[in-house]
């Protein structure tokens, strides 16, 4: 592989190095700074007015370009991974919905097959699977299929964890067996999360003691003081929101598509948790890069129907149904609401990489890390993407709404 020198503004976790240089050799970053020593014969790319960022890392994503990971085929995994790679996501954690054990097993098998034979043309690299559904609270299922939700079953989830593919594991804290699930997932090396839950502070504290350290999509399908008053009466109790904000070790995530959360909530989450504990995720469904219309959320054969209006997914008469945007859009949104560029990029790259345990190889521009790179123009739109130093196409489908 011919060494590659890129001249651009380098987006580091703490600052932007104006007019910097970054050298790639054999798929790794080998030097970066204001000036680097360039090997003879290196290919040079002058992008001095643009921004070079680390490839994005998406911890919570259901699909894109017409495919949902729960379709359970390698073709669906390739389609979704390629769609997100075009938007700068170089490492992805395909995410389950609620569904039958056979459907989840089929999804895991498809992801395992793609991961085992992966090349950059297959799309974003699979960092692992996020076991998200099916262990949701009955009153917090959201747009997922209610028929597919259940309390955690030891024999079922042990099979998923034994695959070695599950790296993020979610369960509502109030479900029977939740603490045993958390301990098993923590022992398997997963980022252990609580989501689609109406848990109280006390239940969150027990979950924390069992290894839970993250809450999915802040303010979405989660408990609040009023929802807990309806559940427990008075005195009113602390909710997931208060527990996450009060506990320094807890991290969370926001869907910064401009449709789920207002600017003040995005700024509030950033100020309260900081860029080291707040991740950007897409929660994107199959309508990413597709025209407005009616789509299935989850498996194509029996997933719940939702509508895309070209900006967000909706279940008529119910509410929001996931995002149709990718992480490049989330970064632009955070910058628009006042977050410094380097911190917005960190929340889409290094912070999720740290939470998922892959920061030693990905998530930031640093010597020795994989050369997973995204070149952004002055409007922060993706111009080029490299995976392990290999350039990949970023041309979007004509029907793109992203």
Pairwise CA distance, residues 105 & 100, whole Å: 9
Q: Does the active-site annotation cover 68?
A: no
Which own/partner contact pairs does 28-37 have at CB distance under 8 Å and 24+ positions apart? 28/368, 28/369, 28/370, 28/371, 28/388, 28/389, 29/365, 29/366, 29/367, 29/368, 29/369, 29/370, 29/371, 30/3, 30/367, 31/367, 32/365, 32/366, 32/367, 36/5
Contact (CB, 8 A) for 148 and 99: yes
Residue 381 structure tokens: 């739109």
Catalytic residue among 283, 289, 328, 372: 283
> 3-state class of 201 per DSSP?
helix
DSSP state of 396: P
56-61 and 293-297 strand pairing: unpaired
> 3-state class of 190 per DSSP?
coil
Contact (CB, 8 A) for 32 and 20: yes
Residue 377's closest CA among 318, 338, 328? 328
Active site residues: 283
């Amino acid at each position: 592989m011919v060494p590659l020198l890129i001249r651009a503004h380098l987006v580091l976790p703490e600052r932007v190095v104006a007019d910097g240089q970054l050298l790639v050799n054999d798929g790794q970053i080998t030097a970066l700074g204001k000036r680097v020593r360039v090997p003879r014969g290196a290919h040079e790319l002058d992008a001095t007015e643009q921004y070079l960022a680390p490839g994005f890392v998406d911890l919570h994503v259901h699909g894109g370009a017409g495919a949902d990971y729960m379709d359970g085929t390698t073709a669906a995994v390739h389609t979704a991974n390629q769609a997100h790679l075009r938007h700068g996501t170089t490492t992805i954690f395909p995410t389950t919905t609620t569904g039958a054990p056979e459907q989840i097993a089929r999804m895991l098998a498809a992801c395992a097959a793609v991961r085992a034979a992966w090349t950059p043309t297959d799309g974003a690299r699979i960092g692992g699977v996020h076991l998200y559904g099916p262990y949701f609270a009955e009153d917090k299922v959201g747009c997922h299929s209610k028929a597919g939700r259940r309390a955690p079953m030891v024999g079922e989830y042990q099979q998923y964890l034994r695959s070695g593919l599950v790296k993020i594991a979610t369960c509502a804290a109030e479900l029977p067996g939740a603490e045993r699930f958390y301990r098993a997932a923590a022992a398997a090396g997963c980022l252990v999360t609580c989501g689609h839950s109406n848990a109280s502070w006390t239940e969150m504290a027990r979950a924390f003691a069992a290894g839970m350290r993250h809450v999915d999509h802040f303010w979405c399908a989660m408990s609040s003081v009023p929802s807990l008053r309806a559940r427990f009466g008075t005195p009113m109790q602390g909710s997931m929101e208060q527990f996450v904000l009060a506990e320094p070790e807890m991290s969370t995530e926001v869907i910064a598509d401009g449709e789920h959360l207002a600017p003040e909530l995005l700024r509030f989450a950033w100020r309260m948790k900081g860029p080291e504990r707040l991740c950007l995720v897409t929660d994107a469904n199959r309508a990413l890069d597709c025209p407005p219309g009616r789509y299935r959320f989850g498996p194509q054969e029996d997933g719940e129907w939702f509508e895309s209006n070209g900006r967000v997914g909706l279940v008529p008469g119910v509410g929001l149904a996931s995002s149709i945007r990718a992480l490049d859009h989330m970064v632009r949104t955070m910058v628009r609401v006042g977050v410094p560029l380097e911190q917005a990029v960190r929340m889409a790259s290094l912070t999720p990489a740290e939470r998922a345990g892959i920061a030693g190889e990905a998530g930031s521009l640093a010597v020795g890390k994989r050369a997973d790179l995204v070149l952004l123009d002055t409007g922060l739109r993706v111009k080029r993407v490299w995976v392990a130093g290999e350039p990949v196409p970023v041309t979007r489908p004509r029907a793109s709404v992203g």
